[in-house]
Protein backbone atom coordinates (compact mmCIF):
# COMPACT_ATOMS: atom_id res chain seq x y z
CA UNK A 1 0.00 0.00 0.00
CA UNK A 2 1.11 3.57 -0.56
CA UNK A 3 1.60 6.08 2.25
CA UNK A 4 2.77 9.66 2.23
CA UNK A 5 5.23 10.50 4.99
CA UNK A 6 5.90 14.22 5.27
CA UNK A 7 4.66 14.48 1.65
CA UNK A 8 7.08 11.79 0.38
CA UNK A 9 5.53 8.64 -1.09
CA UNK A 10 6.44 5.31 0.54
CA UNK A 11 5.29 1.79 -0.20
CA UNK A 12 4.70 -0.60 2.70
CA UNK A 13 3.06 -3.98 3.11
CA UNK A 14 -0.41 -4.05 4.61
CA UNK A 15 -1.41 -4.38 7.36
CA UNK A 16 0.91 -1.81 8.93
CA UNK A 17 0.65 -0.04 12.27
CA UNK A 18 2.21 3.32 13.09
CA UNK A 19 4.84 1.55 15.19
CA UNK A 20 5.71 -0.85 12.36
CA UNK A 21 6.05 2.09 9.99
CA UNK A 22 8.42 3.89 12.35
CA UNK A 23 10.56 0.76 12.61
CA UNK A 24 10.58 0.41 8.82
CA UNK A 25 11.74 3.99 8.28
CA UNK A 26 14.22 3.77 11.19
CA UNK A 27 12.54 6.39 13.39
CA UNK A 28 11.36 4.14 16.26
CA UNK A 29 14.41 4.95 18.38
CA UNK A 30 13.73 8.70 18.32
CA UNK A 31 13.08 9.80 21.89
CA UNK A 32 10.92 12.82 21.07
CA UNK A 33 8.49 12.50 18.21
CA UNK A 34 4.99 13.69 17.39
CA UNK A 35 2.91 12.03 14.73
CA UNK A 36 -0.34 12.74 12.91
CA UNK A 37 -2.28 10.65 10.40
CA UNK A 38 -4.44 12.62 7.99
CA UNK A 39 -3.99 15.74 10.18
CA UNK A 40 -5.15 13.97 13.37
CA UNK A 41 -2.60 13.56 16.15
CA UNK A 42 -2.04 9.94 17.16
CA UNK A 43 -0.95 9.62 20.82
CA UNK A 44 2.11 7.46 21.39
CA UNK A 45 0.01 5.02 23.43
CA UNK A 46 -1.95 4.17 20.25
CA UNK A 47 1.03 3.61 17.91
CA UNK A 48 1.10 -0.16 18.48
CA UNK A 49 -2.47 -0.72 17.31
CA UNK A 50 -3.28 2.23 15.00
CA UNK A 51 -3.55 0.68 11.53
CA UNK A 52 -2.63 2.74 8.53
CA UNK A 53 -4.64 2.64 5.32
CA UNK A 54 -3.77 3.04 1.65
CA UNK A 55 -2.99 6.69 0.78
CA UNK A 56 -2.83 7.86 4.41
CA UNK A 57 -0.81 11.02 4.96
CA UNK A 58 1.54 10.68 7.93
CA UNK A 59 3.22 13.75 9.38
CA UNK A 60 6.22 13.18 11.64
CA UNK A 61 7.52 16.09 13.69
CA UNK A 62 10.72 16.11 15.71
CA UNK A 63 11.62 19.04 17.97
CA UNK A 64 14.59 21.22 17.12
CA UNK A 65 16.51 23.79 19.07
CA UNK A 66 16.74 27.33 17.89
CA UNK A 67 16.90 30.83 18.97
Backbone phi, psi, residue 61, to 5°: -125, 130
- pTM of the model as a whole: 0.87
Position 27 scores a pLDDT of 83
Position 30 scores a pLDDT of 75
Please report the DSSP string for 5-44 in residue order: ETTEEEE-PSS-BHHHHHHHTT-TT-SS-EEEETTEE--G
Position 10 scores a pLDDT of 93
Across the chain, which has 67 residues, the per-10-residue mean pLDDT values are: 96 95 86 93 96 98 80
C-beta of residue 32 within 8 angstroms of C-beta of residue 62: yes
Position 35 scores a pLDDT of 95
Position 67 scores a pLDDT of 63
Is 2-61 a domain of CATH 3.10.20.30? yes
Extents of the domains making up the chain: 2-61
Amino acid sequence: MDLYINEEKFEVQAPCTVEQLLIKIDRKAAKYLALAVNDEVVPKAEWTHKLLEHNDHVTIITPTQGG
